[in-house]
Structure 1
Amino acid sequence: MKTNKLFGLAVLACGFALSFTSCTNDDNPVGGKRQATVSFENKKLGADGYWRGDESGTKFDNYGLEAFACQYKEKGVTFPVNYTPSWASWTGFAISNRTETTYKEQNPDQFNSAVGAAKSGNNFCVVYTYGEEIDFGRAVTLKGFWFTNEAWAVDAILNGDGMSPGKFEKDDWFKCTVTATLSDGSTKDVEVFLAKDGEYVKDWQFCDFQSLEKVTKLSFAFDSTKKNDYGPTTPTYMCIDDIEFEY
Structure 2
Amino acid sequence: MRIADLIFRYGFGGVILVLLAVYLWGAFLTQEIGIQRYEKEFLAATLFWLVGLALAQAASLSAGTRSLASARADLAVLARAAAEAGTAPRVRFFEGEEDVYGATRRAVGQAKKRVWVTYLRGEGPRRGVAAERHFQACREWAMRSPGRSFRRIILYCDKPAMTDFYAIELRTVREAAARRRSYHVRLLGGSVHATEAFSVGIYDDEVIFTHTDGPDKEFAISIRSEKLADQHMREYYNRLWNLETTRPIQDVFPAAG
Scaled by the length of structure 2, the TM-score of the pair is: 0.28
Scaled by the length of structure 1, the TM-score of the pair is: 0.29
**Considering only CA atoms, is the larger Rg found in Structure 1 or Structure 2?**
2
